[in-house]
Amino acid sequence: MTAIETVSIAVTEEHIKNGQRGAGEDPIELAIREATPGAVKAHAGFTDAELREMVATVWLAGDDFLAPSLALTFTLPREAFDFLNDFVDGKPVSPFRFTAERRPA
């Protein structure tokens, strides 16, 4: 993998239906994990609410599946921030697609 790649991520109706508020994976995390071969866990988080910045970290299965050792970081666009903010607040959300930058963590 090159240092930085641009990837397209689709958040589907299934991700929204299966996403969880609070504990568990939200729809953005589910979509990123699904779009990343070898991913075993994903976590998205707000880095700056004022600027609406958000990143996600994805852990990949390494030599020991129970202790993933490889990680990727995704820089997410404002659309993803707004979507997740609405989802967490219980507002209606719809499937959408966004482009993110992916790099080794």
Give residue-wise pLDDT tens across range 25-58: 999 999 999 999 888 888 888 887 777 788 898 8
Q: How confident is the model at residue 92 (pLDDT cuts 50, 70, 90)?
A: very high
Taking the C-alpha atoms of residue 3 and residue 6, their distance in angstroms, rounded to an integer, is 10
Q: 15 phi and psi, to 5 degrees? A: -60, -45
Nearest 5°: the CA angle 59, 18, 96 is: 80
Check: CB of residue 80 under 8 Å from CB of residue 94: no
Alpha helices, H only, the chain? 13-18, 27-34, 78-88
Instruction: Specify the pLDDT at position 40.
Output: 85
Mean per-residue pLDDT over the chain, rounded: 87
